[in-house]
Structure 1
Amino acid sequence: MKSPVCTSRHIKYFVIFSLCLGLIFLSGYFHMKNKTYVISKSHDELLHCHAKTNVMFLKTHKTASSTILNIMFRFAERYDLTVALPADQLVHLGYPETFVAQFVEGFQTIGQNYNIMSNHLRFNRSEVQKVMAVNTFYFSILRNPISLLESSYVYYKEDVPAFKTSKDVNEYLASPTKYYRPENYKQNIYARNIMWFDFGYDNNAEDDTNYIQVVLKEIEQNFHLILIADYFDESMILLKHTLCWDLDDVIYFKLNSRSQDTVQTLTPESKERIKAWCSLDWKLYLHFNQTFWRRIEETIGFEELEKEVNHLRTRQKELMEVCLSDKEPVGKDHIHNKDFLPFQSGAANILGYNLRQNLDNWTLRTCQKMIIPELQYTSYLYAVQHPHKKRKPFGLPLMWTKFREKTHFPAPN
Structure 2
Amino acid sequence: MLSVLGGTQRFFQVVLLFLVLAVFLMLGFLHVDFRLLTPLLRDEAQEPPVTNIMFLKTHKTASSTMLNLLYRFSESHNLSVALPKGSSFHLGYPWLFVTRYVEGMEQDGHLNHHFNIMCNHLRFNFPEVQKVMPNNTFYFSILRNPVSQLESAFIYYKNYVPAFQKVKSLDQFLADPWRYYNVSEGLNNVYAKNNMWFDFGFDNNAGAEVDYVRARLSEVELQFHLVLIADHFDESMVLLRRQLRWQLDDVVSFKLNARSQRTVSRLTPESQERVKHWCELDWKLYQHFNRTFWAQLHAEVSPRQLREELEQLRARRRELTNLCLQDPEPKNKTQIKDWNLRPYQSGHAEILGYNLRHDLDNTTLRICQRMAMPELQYMAHLYTLQFPNKPPKNIPFLK
Q: TM-score, normalised by structure 1?
A: 0.85
2:220 is the counterpart of 1:223: no
Give the alignment of 1:251-266 within 5 angstroms: 251-266=252-267
The 8 Å contact of residues 111 and 131 in structure 1, kept in 2 or not, is answered as no
For residues 45 and 366 of structure 2, what CA distance do their matches in structure 1 show? Answer: 33
* Residue of structure 2 in register with 1:201 after alignment: 202
Q: Does 1:376 align with 2:377?
A: yes
| Whole-angstrom CA distance in 2 between matches of 1:338 and 1:68 | 22
- Give the distance between the partners of 1:369 and 1:86, measured in 2 at CA: 20
Deviates more, 1:297-306 or 1:193-202: 297-306
**Residue 71 of structure 1 corresponds to which residue in structure 2?**
69
The residue number in structure 2 matching 1:101 is 99
1:216-262 CA deviation, whole Å, 9 max, x = no partner? 00000010000000000000110000011110111100000000000
Note if 1:331 corresponds to 2:332: yes
Q: Which residue is equivalent to 2:53?
A: 55
Query: Is residue 367 of structure 1 aligned with residue 371 of structure 2?
Result: no
Q: What is the correspondence of 1:7-406 to structure 2 with a 5 Å cutoff?
A: 42-46=40-44, 48-109=46-107, 111-394=112-395
Deviation at 1:113, TM superposition (A): 1.9
Conserved? CA contact 1:376–1:396, under 8 Å: no
Mapped partners of 2:112, 2:224: distance in 1: 22
The percent identity for this pair of structures is 54
Q: CA offsets per residue over residues 82-133 of structure 1, 9 Å max, x none?
A: 0000000100001001000110000014734200000000000000011000
Q: Is the 8 A contact 2:43 2:245 kept in 1?
A: no
Deviation at 1:359, TM superposition (A): 1.1
Q: Which runs of 5+ in 1 are unaligned?
A: 1-39, 398-413
Aligned partner of residue 96 in structure 2, secondary structure: coil
Contact 1:379 1:395 in 2 (8 A): no
* Alpha-carbon shift at residue 199 of structure 1 (Å): 0.2
* Deviation sequence 1:189-232 (CA, Å, 0-9, x none): 00000000000000000111000000000000010000000000
**1:329 is paired with a residue of what secondary structure?**
coil
| Alpha-carbon spacing, 1:127–1:320, altered in 2? closer, same or farther (3 Å) | same
- Residue pair 1:352, 1:371 contacting (<8 A) in 2 also: yes
Which SS does the other structure have where 1:140 is aligned?
strand
Please list the CA deviations of residues 377-411 of structure 1 after superposition, one character each: whole Å capped at 9, or x if unmatched. Answer: 111100110011111112999xxxxxxxxxxxxxx
Distance in 1 separating the partners of 2:170 and 2:268: 10
**What letter corresponds to residue 68 of structure 1 in structure 2?**
M
Q: What is the deviation of 1:47? A: 5.7
CA drift at 1:305: 1.2
CA contact (8 A) 1:296 1:302 kept: no
Structure 1 contact 155–346 (Cα < 8 Å) conserved: yes
Q: Secondary structure at the match of 1:105?
A: coil
- 1:12 equivalent in structure 2: none
CA distance in 2, matches of 1:64, 1:56: 16
Distance 1:105 1:148 in 2: 30
When residues 388 and 46 of structure 1 are mapped into structure 2, their CA distance, relative to the original with a 3 A threshold, is closer
Amino acid at match of 2:42: D
For 1:335, the aligned partner's letter is I
Aligned match of 1:19: none
Q: 1:385, 1:256 → 2: CA distance? A: 25
Q: Deviations over 1:118-172 (max 9, x none)?
A: 0000000000011000100000000000000000000000000000000111000
Q: Could you tell me how far apart the structure 1 residues matched to 2:191 and 2:302 are? A: 36
Q: Conserved in 2, the CA contact under 8 Å of 1:259 and 1:350?
A: yes
**Contact 2:81-2:118 within 8 A present in 1 as well:** yes
CA separation in 2, counterparts of 1:206 and 1:135? 34
**Structure 1 pair 242/387, CA: closer, same or farther in 2 (3 Å)?**
same
Q: Which amino acid aligns with 2:49?
A: A
CA distance in 2, matches of 1:124, 1:111: 19
Q: Which runs of 5+ in 2 are unaligned?
A: 1-37
Instruction: Look up the equivalent residue of 1:108 and give its one-letter code.
Output: E
Greater mean deviation of Cα atoms: 41-50 or 363-372? 41-50
Instruction: Report SS of the residue matched to 1:139.
Output: strand
CA distance in 2 between counterparts of 1:378 and 1:139 reads: 20
> C-alpha offsets along residues 45-91 of structure 1, whole Å, 9 cap, x if unaligned?
35653211000000000000000000000000111000000000100
Q: 1 CA distance for matches of 2:53 and 2:293?
A: 19
C-alpha separation between the residues in 2 aligned to 1:216 and 1:361?
47
TM (norm. structure 2) is: 0.88
Give the match for residue 14 of structure 1: none
SS state of the match for residue 359, structure 1? coil
